[in-house]
Structure 1
Amino acid sequence: MTRIEDIFTASRVVGSHPPIDWDPLVESDALQEAGLLDCRVCPITGRIGLLLDMRTSLQYRTGNAGLLVVRGMRLFRWSEEALERDLLNFAIVSSNPSALSKGWRLDCSLFPDGELSVEGIAADFYLLNASEVPESPPDFSERRFDQARQDLPWWDSSCSVVEWSTTSLVPENR
């Protein structure tokens, strides 16, 4: 087992992980209903990390967490309607990946009212099983973040890779 943070900071995770069936790096709406938990932008390494709660995802029956790593960062854009709120779970309504002449991009619409765009040279997606995460996502109402976080996959969670995909290995005919 490794930590989710270790996958984000590694130059590339290699191993005998099976390829993912429904690939969010090439297929629109593959991330539909996944929860966006956290975003990391690391200027030192030129990486973006999107930490996802996959327990509510429509497309995946295995894995409770997801990590999308964009290498060679070119763009990170977040916007949301400013709402009075304590904690709010953003769910991905639509995800649209696109191959660029020199890279890769993902545009996501989020519920209730957010948008996220990331772009870089390449991307990797890891479907993960984070340990010690309950079967159901937490109820965010009337909870503080430190109370809800214990029921979420997080950067310090131990995990195993269930499936993965990368833009550098995507066949041309896909």
Structure 2
Amino acid sequence: MTSVAALLFEMRTALQFKDGNAALLVVRNLRSFDWSSSAARTPLRALTALSSTPDRTGNSFHIKLDFHPEAELAITGDLAEFYLLDVEKIGEVPPNYSNTNRAYIYQKLPSWTSACNLLQTSSLH
């Protein structure tokens, strides 16, 4: 059986990408997926990726992502694909997460059903 992890990122505040407002990371033939974060209940908020450490060793791809506040994701698989996207109709800035209307917040974020244009791709096989 083949396992796949697909992660959708909001990229409007990304420092390394001047184009695109979303990104998709796909890791195929998934071997491990480890998420850790604070167990404390908090209001709805964005997790900001502070660093990413990708590594290719032999036939294995590994990436570790550190987020603020206090979260970490580590993924290992056989190959990875990265897609930089321009999602239509989400605006120039991320939503205000203190808004209590979650439907409003969600419509201002990329989603799996968002219409988008593909700007760049890269892959590690």
- Give the secondary-structure state (helix, strand or coil) at the position aligned to 1:147: helix
The runs of 5 or more residues in structure 2 that have no matched partner are: none
Alignment-derived partner of residue 120 in structure 1: 77
Alignment-derived partner of residue 88 in structure 1: 45
| Cα pair 2:99 2:105 within 8 Å, conserved | no
Q: Partners in 2 of 1:80 and 1:151 — Cα distance?
A: 24
Between the two proteins, what is the percent identity of the paired residues?
36
Q: Partners in 1 of 2:75 and 2:100 — Cα distance?
A: 30
Q: Partners in 1 of 2:101 and 2:44 — Cα distance?
A: 7
User: Which of 49, 62, 67 matches 1:105?
Assistant: 62
Within 5 A, what are the aligned runs for 1:155-174? 155-168=112-125
| Cα pair 2:63 2:75 within 8 Å, conserved | yes
| Coordinate RMSD, CA, aligned | 1.3
Alignment-derived partner of residue 10 in structure 1: none
TM-score normalised by the chain length of structure 1: 0.69
| Equivalent position amino acid for 1:59 in 2 | Q
User: Which of 5, 21, 25 matches 1:64?
Assistant: 21
| Equivalent position amino acid for 2:29 in 1 | G
| Cα pair 1:108 1:116 within 8 Å, conserved | yes
| Equivalent position amino acid for 1:152 in 2 | L
Hey, which of these two has a bigger chunk of helix by percent?
Answer: 1
The runs of 5 or more residues in structure 1 that have no matched partner are: 1-43, 169-174
Q: Partners in 1 of 2:122 and 2:115 — Cα distance?
A: 20
1:48 and 2:29 equivalent?
Answer: no
1:137 and 2:99 equivalent?
Answer: no
TM-score normalised by the chain length of structure 2: 0.94
Hey, which of these two has a bigger chunk of strand by percent?
Answer: 2
1:16-70: CA deviation from partner (whole Å, max 9, x where unpaired): xxxxxxxxxxxxxxxxxxxxxxxxxxxx751001110110000011000000000
1:109-163: CA deviation from partner (whole Å, max 9, x where unpaired): 1001000011100000000011111100001014243331100011110111101
Q: Partners in 2 of 1:99 and 1:115 — Cα distance?
A: 19
Q: Partners in 2 of 1:127 and 1:63 — Cα distance?
A: 6
How many Å apart are 1:79 and its aligned residue?
A: 0.5
